[in-house]
Amino acid sequence: MMARSLPLIFTGVLLNAIAQLALKQGMRQIGHFDFTPAVLWDMSWRIGTNPYVVFGLACYVVSVAVWLLALSRVDVGFAYPMLSVGYIVTAVAAYYAFGEALTPVRIGGIAVIMVGVFMISRT
């Protein structure tokens, strides 16, 4: 039953990763800002109306619904570690989409995560 739920779990993970990437793109468009009373209203409006931010938040909402479905079917001890696949997807996608660094240390960490996810999925 747990292995049959992997597509559901990974759909939630993928939606979460897409949300991160969309939010990052939205904030790249908006730029750096500080949370100060002087800019709070303007920045709140700019963030709340940015299409990438809105899309990213929508992906989060859908990912939570998918996650709830997954938790209704499998043990949380099995499902929760699978969230770490999101680190892999996000790091690789950020490398290609945003030119973020994928250093040997990060690649080593990704390899460790992949081994861990494989071990958990086999139980």
Question: Is residue 15 predicted with pLDDT exceeding 90?
Answer: yes
Residue 120 confidence (pLDDT) = 80
Least reliable range by pLDDT among 9-18, 30-39, 90-99? 30-39
Q: Is the pLDDT of residue 34 over 90?
A: no
Determine the pLDDT at residue 122. 74
pLDDT per position as a tens digit, 68-96: 999 999 999 888 888 888 989 999 999 99
Domain boundaries, the chain: 3-121
Report residue 50 as tokens. Answer: 């940015």
Q: Report the largest interatomic distance among the alpha carbons of the chain, rounded to a whole angstrom.
A: 53
The Cα–Cα gap between 11 and 91 comes to 17
